[in-house]
Amino acid sequence: MAKIKDFPTLPTIYTKLVDVMNNPYCTIDDIANVIATDQSSAIKILKISNSAIYGHTKRIKSVSEAVFIIGAREIKAIVLTLAIMKLFEGAKKNENFDPLEFWEFSFAVGSISRNLAINLKLPNPEDLFVAGIIHGIGKLFLIIGIPDLYSNIISASKLKKMDLREVEKLVIGITHSVIAQLLAEKWNLPMDFGILFENLYSGLNRGNFHNYASVVHIGLVSASMLKIGNSCTEIIPALNKDLLAQVDIDPKFFSKNIELIKKEVIEMRMLLSV
Amino acid sequence: MPKYVQADKIEDGMILYEDLTNRQGYLMLSKGMVLGIKHKKVFQTWNIQGVLVESEEDDLEIDPQFVNDAKIYLESLMSWQCSLPLELDLFDTAIKNIAKNEQNIAK
């Protein structure tokens, strides 16, 4: 808990952006000016804005144009992803964790979530893409905070074929899901993220469908089963059948979209230089 | 079975697997359209990186031994049974994906 308290806040580009966007009179230029203070983020935002994931036919040449065409809310979501990736870039490879494979898995969860959102005709599918990418912050926190111990936890989960959260609870008394909730609180992330982290493994929020929790739950389980990247655990969590009964997803969704999902994962790896 | 092809790798005779729509949902090209070299330029103009096309690559290309191994491997990692159509589609797709990867590594 103390480590969470001491953990860095999100990079200033994100917090400044939130401040600026909280002003009802903020303009596109105000947003673009904040982003321009971080050239590395600005370049990545342009690359992502021009990617097939956002699917615009016109080439976006400036951050102002990206804000105008893609939307301020979506740009804020991309900045949040970049900020979180930057915060966790210190996560080192060891025998039980490979950052490349971890991000590959996270991109797969994001891609599946986004395409599910499109299939379900949910508003703002790109938000689900971001939610999917950052779903694993609890694990990343543990990898950075207690690298050796967490490596042993991952190893024990694999050897005993136990759910990673069960081993975490036994050894350190807290799960990565709870840590993710605490980080979301510390960083003042929108409430949807708190609900997502709390219900990621059940997929339902108090028995009901929730855009973030439900869609990313299916994304998480399916990316685990499709074995795209590595989530620190081999065990495949169960899909919530009650949730599946509540949603109307094309029953051939995975066979139809597998190639697209793999393509988007490769694209994200290239765009974000992971 | 769809296959993703980068826009600059489009060849004459490839068949578009799904409707191509823009962000606003307007139809740009219809599913089933026969693509040609000229579409490379069109996709470049529309800033489309790649599309899904029909592929004759079928499951027979995967050695049944790899398929069987992938099935056993996946089942060993699951404490639940797939029964709903979406779950079964996911399970089958995952088996083929793992089997293909393993076969490629073995090659």
The string of pLDDT tens digits covering residues A70-87 is 888 889 988 999 999 988
pLDDT class of A152 with cuts at 50, 70, 90: very high
Distance between CA atoms of A196 and A260, rounded to whole angstroms?
A: 25
The answer to whether A227 contacts B84, with C-beta atoms less than 8 Å apart, is no
Parts of chain B with a pLDDT under 50: 59
The answer to whether A56 contacts B78, with C-beta atoms less than 8 Å apart, is no
In CATH, the number for domain A90-274 is 1.10.3210.10
CB atoms within 10 A of CB B74: 18
Distance between CA atoms of A180 and A158, rounded to whole angstroms?
A: 22
Distance from CA of A112 to the nearest CA of B (A): 12
Contacts of A234 in chain B (CB under 8 A): 77
B70 contacts B102 by C-beta, under 8 angstroms: yes
Contacts of A249 in chain B (CB under 8 A): 86
Which among B18, B45, B85 has the least Cβ separation from residue A251?
A: B85
Distance between CA atoms of A46 and A62, rounded to whole angstroms?
A: 7
pLDDT class of A155 with cuts at 50, 70, 90: very high
Q: Which amino acid is at A257?
A: N
- Residue B56, pLDDT score: 67
The model's pTM is 0.83
Write down the domain spans for chain A: 1-87, 90-274
- Residue A7, pLDDT score: 78
Distance between CA atoms of B2 and A46, rounded to whole angstroms?
A: 29
Distance from CA of A98 to the nearest CA of B (A): 19
Write down the domain spans for chain B: 2-54, 59-106
Q: Is B79 on the interface with A (CB under 8 A)?
A: yes
Which among A58, A227, A244 has the least Cβ separation from residue B94?
A: A227
- Residue B38, pLDDT score: 85
Which class would CATH give B2-54? alpha beta
Distance between CA atoms of A32 and A195, rounded to whole angstroms?
A: 30
- Residue A272, pLDDT score: 80
- B21 - beta bridge partners? B27
- B50 - beta bridge partners? B6
- A205 - beta bridge partners? A208
Count contacts between A and B (CB, < 8 Å). Answer: 87
Please report, for chain B, how many H helices and E strands are present, in that order.
Answer: 3, 4
Ramachandran class of A273: left when φ > 0, alpha when ψ lies in -120 to 50, beta otherwise: left
